[in-house]
Amino acid sequence: MPIGHRHACLPLRRGVPQERTPDGMQRLLNASRWDVDAVRDDLVAYVREHLADPAAILVIDETGFLKKGIKSAGVQRQYSGTAGRRENCQIGVFVTSSSLVPAQTQVLVDRELYVPQDWAEDWPRRREAGVPDDVGFAARIGPAPARAGARGRTARRLGDG
């Protein structure tokens, strides 16, 4: 479901009590220009300043997003732990900071879209889906470079490396 789609905006809108419909949230998400890396960096700085815990750990998790079409970036028939089998899906790799201080806290601090090898090598398809040129393939088995890269960048931002 694309960002700004009516059903995707309903849960977001619930956090804004004065909004009675998802229209305002849809307008914000569809019309605004976002520097997602800058927003992520601001969030990591906030976590470091307000939720700092030397015992916090980084949790890296893959999540599958089931898809019906073939146009969404990285979508193909592949194993999804979410579905528990091979499905047509996208795979996202997410990094959260998890802590028990000051209370049980989990904050999403980084994300990467898994780009399958077929996608990494298909330049026209990548451009159509908006996959940046600097995003490449990383194996999902073992210590995948995409996961290690996301964890390393996040750990450095949080002051762990």
pLDDT for the residue 37: 86
pLDDT for the residue 4: 43
Mean pLDDT rounded to a whole number for the chain: 78
Same domain for 90 and 27, yes or no, is no
DSSP secondary structure string for all residues of 118-154: HHHT-HHHHHHHT--TT-----SSSS-HHHHHHHHHH
Same domain for 87 and 146, yes or no, is yes
Same domain for 19 and 73, yes or no, is no
Domain count, the chain: 2
Same domain for 52 and 14, yes or no, is no
Average the pLDDT over 80-91 and give the result: 92
pLDDT in tens, 11-63: 555 566 666 777 777 787 778 888 888 988 998 888 888 777 788 888 888 89
Distance, CA of 143 to CA of 25 (rounded, Å) = 38
Which residue's entry shows tokens 């307008």? Answer: 27
Same domain for 54 and 104, yes or no, is yes
Same domain for 18 and 64, yes or no, is no
pLDDT for the residue 119: 93
Helix orientation angle between 145-158 and 36-50, rounded to the nearest 10 degrees: 50
Same domain for 48 and 122, yes or no, is yes
Reduce the secondary structure of 4-17 to three states and give it as a string: CCHHHHHHHHCCCC
Same domain for 65 and 135, yes or no, is yes
Same domain for 59 and 107, yes or no, is yes
Same domain for 101 and 139, yes or no, is yes
The amino acid sitting at 128 is E
Same domain for 89 and 19, yes or no, is no
Same domain for 22 and 75, yes or no, is no
User: pTM for the whole thing?
Assistant: 0.65
Q: What domain range is 89 assigned to? A: 35-158
Average the pLDDT over 128-155 and give the result: 67
